[in-house]
């Protein structure tokens, strides 16, 4: 039994794994035309919105078309990054063999090159979710979201750091994937870092060229208007992605885990770690779609390769399992989760101390409601 999961023994974890495996198998058996119809419909909306947005920005002269154009372009970028790019690159549609939905071939409209993001995200983050020292997405090495992360005075300004990260999130993600800090620790040679940086610089150059030179120039006298609209669309998409992702793992209640948990970790414990290390956002269909269904971060972490639009349906079964096993299921509306993340950022800006793990509950206590997480 590991410190952060004192509530289930290995036998119980194996049973839990079987139940969650069954939920995945059921969804997988049903994969087919409907999944493709969904993702192609979203792609259609994103393509049309991009053309409409760029057209309104380039050819309009009035403020209304500027607002509408910027809005449409933002919508297109959000859909492309969240529901299409992120999910396709998770291999959610690889089974269809459609070359346009191939996880290896897809490139997204963001400065981080797909290949380096896929490694950092699909492997490091999804395998070692919320494990201190292993999951580099834990606070992105920029902010302190748990008392277990060592404090330094730089964290005093982390509310501002977080705001900056939000505005330039795509750059934060790209720099994060370069692992520049390994230069200082000696884990990577300058050569290795340069090898990682080159595809990024190349992609970033094209991205900047596209939104800040190419499309503005195409618009002739409307260039400043297009440039501003493009920039606002990028900022809007960045802020939205940042908000959704920070709500996914950092609200109060989302647990962090010691590295020792990884030793000989069973599938059941991996599931438990995904379940207790993630948090959902409640909302309607639009919320789910615009978040790329990361509003179901819990289901996404349990079943990362299942097409994400199936998460709402799978969530009902996951919640039922959680209720039966007495496991926490962290979910709240966007505003609540954002406030929760903000409180955490403020609190851990100061040198907080980790709380001691609670003594293990006896069997009679087992199905109690959510236990205080170790990383409160």
- Residues of this chain that bind other proteins (CB under 8 A): 25, 28, 31-36, 43-44, 47, 50-51, 90-91, 94-100, 102-104, 107, 109, 118-119, 122-123, 126-127, 203, 206, 209-210, 214, 267, 270, 304-305
Contact 338, 162 (CB under 8 A): no
What is the DSSP secondary structure assignment for residue 121, as one 8-state letter? I
- For other proteins, give the closer residue by CB, 110 or 375: 110
- For other proteins, give the closer residue by CB, 84 or 289: 84
Kindly report the backbone phi and psi dihedral angles of residue 195, in degrees, each rounded to the nearest multiple of 5, phi listed first. Answer: -65, -35
- For other proteins, give the closer residue by CB, 111 or 145: 111
Determine the Cα angle at 160 with ends 155 and 164, to 5°.
115
Q: How far apart are CA 245 and CA 117, in angstroms?
A: 15
> What is the closest distance, in whole angstroms, from the C-beta atom of residue 287 to other proteins in the complex?
25
- For other proteins, give the closer residue by CB, 4 or 92: 92
- For other proteins, give the closer residue by CB, 27 or 243: 27
SS3 160: helix
> What is the closest distance, in whole angstroms, from the C-beta atom of residue 288 to other proteins in the complex?
21
Tokens of 321: 């399992």
CA distances 103 to 204, 309, 354, 363, Å, are 21, 17, 39, 44
Tokens of 134: 């292993």
Tokens of 207: 């991205």
> What is the closest distance, in whole angstroms, from the C-beta atom of residue 9 to other proteins in the complex?
21
> What is the closest distance, in whole angstroms, from the C-beta atom of residue 119 to other proteins in the complex?
7
Kindly report the backbone phi and psi dihedral angles of residue 253, in degrees, each rounded to the nearest multiple of 5, phi listed first. Answer: 100, -30
- For other proteins, give the closer residue by CB, 76 or 337: 76
> What is the closest distance, in whole angstroms, from the C-beta atom of residue 96 to other proteins in the complex?
5
Q: Could you tell me where the beta strands, DSSP code E, fall in the chain?
A: 280-282, 331-333
Contact 31, 76 (CB under 8 A): no
> What is the closest distance, in whole angstroms, from the C-beta atom of residue 268 to other proteins in the complex?
12
């Amino acid at each position: 039994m590991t410190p952060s999961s004192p509530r289930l023994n290995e036998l119980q974890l194996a049973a839990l794994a079987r139940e969650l495996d069954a939920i995945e198998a059921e969804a997988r058996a049903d994969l087919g035309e409907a999944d493709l119809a969904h993702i192609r419909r979203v792609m259609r909306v994103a393509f049309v919105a991009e053309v409409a947005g760029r057209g309104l920005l380039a050819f309009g002269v009035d403020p209304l078309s500027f607002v509408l154009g910027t809005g449409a372009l933002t919508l297109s970028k959000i859909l492309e990054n969240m529901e299409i790019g992120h999910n396709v690159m998770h291999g959610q549609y690889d089974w269809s063999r459609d070359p346009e939905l191939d996880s290896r071939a897809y490139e997204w409209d963001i400065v981080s090159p797909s290949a380096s993001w896929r490694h950092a995200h699909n492997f490091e983050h999804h395998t070692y979710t919320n494990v201190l020292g292993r999951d580099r997405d834990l606070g992105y090495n920029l902010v302190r979201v748990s008392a277990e992360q060592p404090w330094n005075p730089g964290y005093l300004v982390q509310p501002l750091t977080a705001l900056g990260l939000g505005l330039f999130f795509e750059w934060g993600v790209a720099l994060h994937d370069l692992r520049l800090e390994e230069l200082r620790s000696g884990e990577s040679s300058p050569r290795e870092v340069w090898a990682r940086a080159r595809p990024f610089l190349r992609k970033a150059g094209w991205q900047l060229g596209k939104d800040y030179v190419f499309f503005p120039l195409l618009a002739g006298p409307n260039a400043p208007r297009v440039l501003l609209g493009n920039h606002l669309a990028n900022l809007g998409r960045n802020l939205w992605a940042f908000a959704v992702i920070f709500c996914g793992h950092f609200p109060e209640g989302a647990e962090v885990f010691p590295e020792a948990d990884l030793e000989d970790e069973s599938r059941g414990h991996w599931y438990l770690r995904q379940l207790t290390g993630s948090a959902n956002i409640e909302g309607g269909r639009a919320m789910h779609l615009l978040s790329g269904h990361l509003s179901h971060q819990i289901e996404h972490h349990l079943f990362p390769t299942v097409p994400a639009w199936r998460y709402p349906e799978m969530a009902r079964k996951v919640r039922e399992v959680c209720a039966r096993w007495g496991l926490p299921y962290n979910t709240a509306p966007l505003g609540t989760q954002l406030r929760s993340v903000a409180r955490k950022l403020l609190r851990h800006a100061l040198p907080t101390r980790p709380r001691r793990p609670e003594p293990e509950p006896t069997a009679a206590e087992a199905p109690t409601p959510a236990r205080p997480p170790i990383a409160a």
